[in-house]
């Protein structure tokens, strides 16, 4: 597929938080509410499918649940710390601890169900 270029998911939209190695402690672990982190990469096809869903959920749950994305290529330390070996992986963090994770591209209804269970 010569000339094909994946969309640039770096532009985080709406209420979506851009997590990094530098801000993960303050923005994810110490947020004071349920935090949902989508671990993704630009080159990952399934990540491109999940990305817009995460962005929509961030708008929907804005102020109630902390939802964002972490680029695995740009933030290797957080990926190693949380043993992220496949993407997309979505971590659910509450009170500074990982309480659940989903690996792979899951439909929106699965993410909503998990958020509602944990928030």
User: CA-to-CA distance for 56 and 52, rounded, in angstroms?
Assistant: 6
Is 79 considered catalytic here?
no
Q: Annotated catalytic residue: which of 28, 36, 37, 44?
A: 44
Is 47 considered catalytic here?
yes
| Spatial contact of 39 and 72, defined as CB atoms under 8 Å apart | yes
Q: Annotated catalytic residue: which of 28, 36, 47, 111?
A: 47
The two structure tokens encoding residue 62: 């804005």
User: CA-to-CA distance for 54 and 85, rounded, in angstroms?
Assistant: 20
Beta bridge partners of 18: 69
User: CA-to-CA distance for 53 and 82, rounded, in angstroms?
Assistant: 22
Sign of dihedral through CA atoms 22, 25, 29, 32? negative
Catalytic residues: 44, 47
């Amino acid at each position: 597929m010569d000339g094909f270029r994946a969309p640039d998911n770096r532009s985080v939209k709406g209420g979506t938080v851009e997590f990094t190695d530098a801000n993960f402690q303050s923005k994810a672990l110490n947020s004071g509410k349920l935090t949902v982190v989508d671990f993704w990469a630009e080159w990952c096809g399934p990540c491109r499918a999940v990305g817009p869903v995460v962005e929509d959920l961030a708008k929907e749950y804005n102020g109630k649940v902390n939802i964002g994305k972490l680029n695995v290529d740009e933030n290797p330390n957080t990926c190693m710390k949380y043993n992220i070996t496949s993407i997309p992986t979505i971590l659910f963090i509450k009170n500074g601890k990982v309480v659940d994770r989903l690996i792979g591209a899951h439909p929106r209804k699965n993410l909503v169900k998990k958020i509602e269970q944990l928030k």
